């Protein structure tokens, strides 16, 4: 377990962030905290402080808005992330992408492994890379292991878009950005995606921009 000396700097950092009130500032690509990986959560935050931090992550995710947020995205190198997706998309899009509503949940010390060999590619964005999206091929089904904010074991299989969210947020905890896995020929501004590539799948983008889909 972390010693009291190890715990203090992390707890102090979180207290400083929370003291400002409101949504937390989101770290943009280029800062080391997004690339250095995270330390496992092992009680570095007292239970009440952990609860406040989780609620701040949730509020920040909603305000952005996004469907997931990892602790390093607010400058805290702990292996904690939150996800939530109301899935407010047309039925055609939901069916093509396997996007179903996900309730709010906290992932503590998560790791994932693929289930089967299936992969799917879709445009994906990131709150730490504002203004851009790119096509990323990811596992269509993954098994997630870890804990929740109360230390209860999590061992669950996610499919479709929820599996994509889990992979994206867990990658953040390993210092990996979605651009590391993206087809860079697909890189597009949010405006370009809205104007040209809003189809349920990125097939038209692949043909026009010259990249392959799995």
Measured in whole angstroms, how far is the alpha carbon of residue 11 from the centre of its chain? Answer: 22
Annotation marks residue 191 as catalytic: no
Task: Let me know: does 107 contact 83? Beta carbons within 8 Å.
Answer: yes
Which residues, 6 or more positions from 89, have their beta carbon under 8 angstroms from its beta carbon? Answer: 97, 99
Is 126 marked within a binding site?
yes
Could you give the C-alpha distances from 205 to 133, 142, 168, 200, 208, in angstroms and in order? 12, 26, 21, 11, 5
CA 200 – CA 79 distance, rounded (Å): 32
Is 62 marked within a binding site?
no
Phi, psi dihedrals of residue 174, rounded to the nearest 5°:
-105, 10
Is 139 marked within a binding site?
no
How would DSSP label each residue in 152-199? -EEEEEEEHHHHHHHHHHHHHHTT--GGGTEEEEEEEEHHHHHHH--S
Catalytic, out of 84, 141, 169, 183: 169
Active site (catalytic) residues: 169
Q: Which residues are annotated as a binding site for Fe cation?
A: 126, 168, 172
Q: Which residues are annotated as a binding site?
A: 126, 168, 172
């Amino acid at each position: 377990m972390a010693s009291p000396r190890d715990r203090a700097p992390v707890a102090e950092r979180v207290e400083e962030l929370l003291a400002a009130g409101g949504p937390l500032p989101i770290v943009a690509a280029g800062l080391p905290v997004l690339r250095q990986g995270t330390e496992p959560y092992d009680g570095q935050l007292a239970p009440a402080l952990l609860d406040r931090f989780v609620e701040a992550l949730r509020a920040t995710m909603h305000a952005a808005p996004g469907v997931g947020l990892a602790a390093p995205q607010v400058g805290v190198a702990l292996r904690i992330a939150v996800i939530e997706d109301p899935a407010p998309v047309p039925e055609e899009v939901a069916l093509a992408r396997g996007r179903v509503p996900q309730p709010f949940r906290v992932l503590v010390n998560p790791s994932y492994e693929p289930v089967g060999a299936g992969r799917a590619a879709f445009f994906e964005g990131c709150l730490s890379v504002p203004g851009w999206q790119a096509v990323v091929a990811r596992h269509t089904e993954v098994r997630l292991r870890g804990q929740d904010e109360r230390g209860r074991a999590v061992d669950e299989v996610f499919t479709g878009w929820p599996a994509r969210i889990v992979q994206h947020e867990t990658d953040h905890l390993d210092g990996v950005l979605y651009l590391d896995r993206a087809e860079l020929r697909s890189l597009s501004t949010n405006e370009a995606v809205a104007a040209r590539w809003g189809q349920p799948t990125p097939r038209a983008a692949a043909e026009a921009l010259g990249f392959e889909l799995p």
